[in-house]
Copies of this chain bind each other. A is one copy, B any other.
Amino acid sequence: MLLIGFYIAITAEAMTAALAAGRRNMDWFGVCLIACVTALGGGTMRDILLDHYPLVWVANPYVLLLVCGAALLTIPLARLVERLRWPFLLLDALGLVVFTVIGCNIGIEAGVHPIIVIVAGMVTGTAGGILRDVLCNDIPLIFQGELYASVSMIAGIVYYLGLTGGVQQDLMAILAMVLGFALRVLAIAFKWEMPKFVYDRNMRR
């Protein structure tokens, strides 16, 4: 079940990433690279930080083909993909919670401290988007007040606490994902935002 969610999520991430690349007039190779980094970068960064090898896409390179294929398919379908804004926001929210739960699972398998389990979930869920924004030369979107990383953190904490409390793993994964998904959708619908730290006096490093 997580695997199906994973494939849906990386496909959706690849398609929205391709649009971001298109808005910067990148060539087809750039479109594929931005899509791979966005869809697979979070898991890659988590695995590098935890020394968890081989990486997902090295062990199973067909995910690279899936991601590049989805990204290239987006080019002729750009207008359609844009019109499907809500479905893609929902798929993106699905991706966030699926990635988070997968990341937590890998942290648990690696036997790390609970805090790092949650961090592994958050890195998996959010680092892809951060890397995309760095390559596209933006200040990462995720820092601009949207409830995104916080949703990942909450889903991860609930998931981990549930497992520790003895809930069966598949059930707990579903519960955490439903909760995180609902939270993310509500945050988009009602424009819930995180408080920002606005500070404009200059201070030399």
Contacts and interface: CB of A to CB of B under 8 A. Distances in A.
Interface stretch (A3-11, A141-149, A171-179): A141-149
A82 interface: yes
A21 B63 CA distance: 35
Contact of A136 (B18, B27, B139): B139
Contacts of A140: 30, 135
A53 B193 CA distance: 37
Given A113-B61, A205-B16, A143 B196 contact: no
Interface of A: 16, 18-31, 33-34, 44, 48-51, 53-55, 57-58, 61-62, 64-65, 75, 78-79, 82, 85, 92, 112-113, 115-116, 119, 129-130, 134-146, 149-150, 193-205
Given A48-B48, A134-B135, A136-B139, A150 B199 contact: no
A146 to B, nearest CB: 8
A146 B44 CA distance: 27
Nearest to A72: B197
17 contacts: A16-B205, A22-B198, A22-B199, A24-B143, A26-B197, A27-B197, A28-B194, A29-B194, A30-B140, A30-B144, A48-B49, A49-B58, A50-B54, A79-B201, A135-B140, A136-B139, A137-B137
